[in-house]
Structure 1
Amino acid sequence: MNGTRRPDLLMKRLIPALARKGSGRPADNASGPCVVIGGGISGLATAGLLAKDGHAVTVLEQQEQLGGRAGRWERDGFTFDTGPSWYLMPEVIDHWFKMMGTSAAAELTLTRLDPAYKLWSAAGGQQGADSTVVRTGRAAAVDLFESQQPRSGAQLEKYLDSAELAYTLAKKHFLYDPFGTLRGLVTPAVLRHAPRLAQLLTRSLHGFVAGRFTHPLQQKILGYPAVFLGTSPYKAPSIYHLMSHLDLQDGVLYPQGGFAAVVDAMERVIRRAGVQIVAGATVTQIVTGPADGGARCEAVAWRDRDGVEHRSGAKLVVGAADLHHIESALLPETLRTRSAKKWAKTDPGISAVLVCLGVRGGLPQLAHHNLLFTDDWQDNFARIVDGQALADTTSIYVCRPSATDSSVAPAGTENLFLLIPAPALPQWGRGGFDGGGSSHVEKVADAAIAQLAIWTNTPDLAERIMVRRSYGPADFQDDVNAWQGSALGLAHTLRQSAFLRPGNVNHKVSGLYYAGSSVRPGIGVPLCMISAELVLKSVRGDKTGGPLAEPEPDVPASVSGTTVAEGMRAPDTDHAVRVVVP
């Protein structure tokens, strides 16, 4: 941040902007038929909450399976998650289940990962790359930093204190706030920290980290969570250093069965609440009619897998798919909340090349989560953000769920999922089976496999591959209607965070709401679940911040044979999750 800029002046600019954002048509809180477009995490979460609130809800999903970006693929005994794989903010996920009358404890089996993840630095020779184990908990993180550079442990203590404060403020005052009023910005707690928050908003995450830590690996440990936010540490505001509270202090969990199990649990729960789900349903139009001062929802037109046209009446419609697709393909221009000119200035976020590998034999040197970091961190991110070709050696995320879950791979084999961050360029093409994708996608996939083999000292890795499938930016565009092939959703830059992010209400069409990673509060499974609660609040006309009160559970919140892991309670909640400690 430029030292001459005054945070208090920034806040004076932001508050009027929020006032404008909060204006619009009143909420339509009458119960009635509701159609949710999209059966991903946000669509399922929204459908369940609205059904619990008395609405007759139908979910229309164009794919044959639910989950959206939280996809799955199975072949020859291997089961792959093709989307989210880090289970963070467990109390937020548990809160949604409790809102549905159950709990994460009753629906999922969660395993605490130890180590939380493993870092791999650029290989310097034939013996593989240097590796660093990151274990869960503040004490372990502080010890790691201190071992890397004297006195950096104490600095990390201060950093994590700041991260925890930022996370607590965000959860209490911003993430669950529909921003229909200024209330969230004028609470005593927010005003007390306003200068600090303004500084965090106007400085990049990398700048914030580099000003406190000089060790290159430490900078990467604290900067890599920007990828979870669809951007780079050079563009993400430093308010997002709160992510380090989640992975270094709260810890990382894994749902047995992968995120496919989370999707299945959500489907189970919302069906019990009466939600109807139609797969293979391609929505073609949101049908509107005239209303005082604007338009109102009347129906949703859609086509089934056999090409038969349908029209489902709906007083409430929730677009829980990509916002650009919902508005540009399903609404006339006059009823859209964002113009083409505004979209041209919008950052779609990063894309990725994904590679699913079934590998013969073991790979014990890999942890469940692995991060391979290049030396030239800045060049790596510049290539991704600026739409350039990736270097032959790039930063890669490698998930080995078979380290924790025996159900995802046959005995004697390993399940690997590689994510290579890439520019949001659909022209790179689609992936394919056994190397049959576009030449650009497969070139990136081949380079990543070769890099993993060298860095982990596994020279025969390519020869041991039994199953292979890749995905490219065009797959995200074609399969989930992702704007410009974004893998995660709109990037969390300053102009696309909090109330500056696209909202959850279409103020031109009464009864039309939006959920998912394109809108508030943002990217990731927990935030998509929160977006569902923002829709519920908007439908009710509830303008309060913070999570809604949870009803009494319909089922027991504990299961014999499991334990509630110590330290998994959120700092400002009484939530707990069922965790199997290996």
Structure 2
Amino acid sequence: MTARPRAVVIGAGISGLATAALLAREGYDTDVVEQQGHVGGRAATWEHDGFTFDLGPSWYLMPEVFDHFFRLCGTSSDAELDLVRLDPAYRVFFAGERSDGPPPVQDREGVTSVDVRTGRAHEAFEALEPGSRSRLEEYLASSREAYELALRHFLYSTFARPTTLLRRELLRHAPRLGRLLTTSLERFVADRFTDPRARQVLGYPAVFLGTSPERAPSLYHLMSHADLTEGVLYPRGGFGAVIDAVLRCATRAGVRVRTSARVTAVRTTELEGARGRGPRHRVVGVELAGGEVIEADLVVGAGDLHHLETALLPPHLATYPERWWRRRDPGPGAVLVHLGVRGRVPELTHHSMFFTRDWRANFDAVLGAHPQVPDPASFYVCAPSRTDDGLAPAEHENLFVLVPVPADEALGRGGLDGGGDPAVERVADAAIATLASWAGVPDLAERVVVRRTVGPTDFAHDLSSWRGGALGPAHTLRQSAFLRGRNVSARVDGLLYAGGSTLPGIGLPMCLISAELVVKRLRGETSGAPLPEPAGVGHEVPA
């Protein structure tokens, strides 16, 4: 009997676990090796004193991508997750702008807030900019068209063949795509809305893409379809429940997962008679700290691409050497603050955004030529215990605060109870004070019973993240679609990539798609469509 081909996946984040699950279903004998003592990567969880905190992703968008992945694994989202639709989808607090509009805008000492509801976003926009309903409807129709086009032609494509971009539908849309790619999201929104707060709501999705509205192509207005039209869901139990579900898919398929197993090198052998620009070596396995070697016919790097290419391969075998990264934009870093709060905080919804008045200055501080911590800073707060009581003790709240900062390891580490490096703790203190003031919770700091911070150095150390970035390479024009790092090595046969550093990009849905793109590479599948789903699956959970 012929032995099954062996695969090793580096990294047990969502992309690594998903890739392993699909490879096992393709017939590979698959191991996942993870340097940390737990699975999840950026989507891991932390439990302390009865609180459960998600350490990273907190928005469940693009549910059809999750649905498709689970069906590929012979199950379904309904079988694996308990999903709740959020209403409102989120609340936004604005500084320094007053409105004469009708509710739902609230006004507190120069701070206004508005609730954004799925399918009823026009109510919020009418409050911010009276008379804007028809323009919003046109904007959302455009975002839906761009979203569907991306799903059909870009997100599920490996761009292995140049002819991928010559399909009839794409050629028909070429003039419009050209305009969307060469116009910034900031300009695209400003041409349609005048109120700065309405512009902020529509421009903020650029942050999910690791960039700013000024730097993101307006094609990414498709993100507004995801949150304003499709809606925002939440998996009960937090995003650890999503990781657990993907892990189940992997282990059911026979995948072995090893934690506290740090890869120090990708092992290769030189191909006999290799010439030209094709692969000159092929993988034979990975080496772990301590010297153990796991042999493999296929290696998938599902962690940080910069780390794999510059630390795990010799320079002459790197497809993306250090000089390539010097010309790239790492996107923002982040200071994360996990707060366990005594008493309830009804002033917050599940998702809340806090936007400063000088929007451009905020982004320039984080992403500009002379990066610095913005002061004041815009930030995001997730209060999942508003939806899920199981994440905090009775009559307590679980708050997750994310403050974008430059991707700069020099800002330092976080810590428990204010024990992080001074620059990180100052960012946390400022965000807590602003949250308390703007939301009208003056005693918030006094009610904090658990406090933990995470800084850029933690991202670099724990996740091997390039420059301590929080998300991955920014989705600027030259770092999107076929201009982003490809998912296969040009130098080493049998070495592929998955995760937010490569195609199609940042975010949990994109990471699931990246796992599927590995399979498409192996099959030689060059279409832009998702893989066909097995017939008759998606309703029963395999034993």
**TM exceeds 0.5?**
yes
Gaps of 5+ in 2: 98-106, 275-279
Distance 2:502 2:216 in 1: 17
Task: From 456, 460, 476, give the equivalent of 1:473.
Answer: 456
Decide whether the 8 Å contact of 1:431 with 1:471 is kept in 2.
yes
Decide whether the 8 Å contact of 1:115 with 1:367 is kept in 2.
yes
| Number of the residue aligned with 1:233 | 213
Q: How many residues align?
A: 523
| Stretch of structure 1 that moved more, 228-237 or 178-187 | 178-187
Distance 1:149 1:443 in 2: 35
Helix, strand or coil: the match of 1:431?
coil
Do residues 451 (structure 1) and 431 (structure 2) align?
no
| Number of the residue aligned with 2:527 | 544
Task: From 403, 409, 420, give the equivalent of 2:386.
Answer: 403
| Number of the residue aligned with 1:312 | 294
- Counterpart code for 2:486: G
Task: From 494, 497, 521, give the equivalent of 1:511.
Answer: 494
Instruction: State the 1:153 CA deviation.
Output: 0.9
Instruction: State the 1:393 CA deviation.
Output: 2.2
Distance 2:462 2:518 in 1: 24
Deviations 1:206-243 (A, max 9, x none): 01111111111110010000000001111011110000
Task: From 292, 297, 308, give the equivalent of 2:283.
Answer: 297
Do residues 61 (structure 1) and 31 (structure 2) align?
no
Task: From 342, 351, 356, give the equivalent of 1:369.
Answer: 351
| Number of the residue aligned with 1:354 | 336
Helix, strand or coil: the match of 2:380?
strand
Output the TM-score relative to the length of structure 2: 0.94
Helix, strand or coil: the match of 1:398?
strand
| Number of the residue aligned with 1:145 | 125
- Counterpart code for 2:301: G
Distance 1:209 1:39 in 2: 38
Deviations 1:237-261 (A, max 9, x none): 1110000000000000000011111
- Counterpart code for 1:162: S
Instruction: State the 1:161 CA deviation.
Output: 1.0
| Number of the residue aligned with 2:135 | 155
Distance 1:556 1:502 in 2: 36
- Counterpart code for 1:370: S
Distance 2:358 2:4 in 1: 55
- Counterpart code for 2:167: T
Deviations 1:83-105 (A, max 9, x none): 00000000001111110000111
| Number of the residue aligned with 2:175 | 195
| Number of the residue aligned with 1:389 | 372
Do residues 172 (structure 1) and 158 (structure 2) align?
no
Do residues 379 (structure 1) and 361 (structure 2) align?
yes
- Counterpart code for 2:312: L
| Number of the residue aligned with 1:321 | 303
Helix, strand or coil: the match of 1:69?
helix
Gaps of 5+ in 1: 1-29, 559-582
| Number of the residue aligned with 2:95 | 122
Distance 1:335 1:555 in 2: 41
| Number of the residue aligned with 1:52 | 25
| Stretch of structure 1 that moved more, 548-557 or 360-369 | 548-557
| Number of the residue aligned with 2:249 | 269
Do residues 70 (structure 1) and 43 (structure 2) align?
yes
Decide whether the 8 Å contact of 2:347 with 2:441 is kept in 1.
no
Task: From 240, 249, 254, give the equivalent of 1:260.
Answer: 240
Decide whether the 8 Å contact of 2:91 with 2:115 is kept in 1.
yes
Helix, strand or coil: the match of 1:410?
coil
- Counterpart code for 1:342: W
> CA RMSD, aligned part only?
1.5
Instruction: State the 1:31 CA deviation.
Output: 5.5
| Number of the residue aligned with 1:102 | 75
Decide whether the 8 Å contact of 1:209 with 1:219 is kept in 2.
yes
Output the TM-score relative to the length of structure 1: 0.88
Change (3 A) 1:148 1:126: closer
Distance 1:130 1:219 in 2: 15
Helix, strand or coil: the match of 1:222?
helix
Deviations 1:50-87 (A, max 9, x none): 00010000000011110111121110000000100000
Instruction: State the 1:150 CA deviation.
Output: 3.3
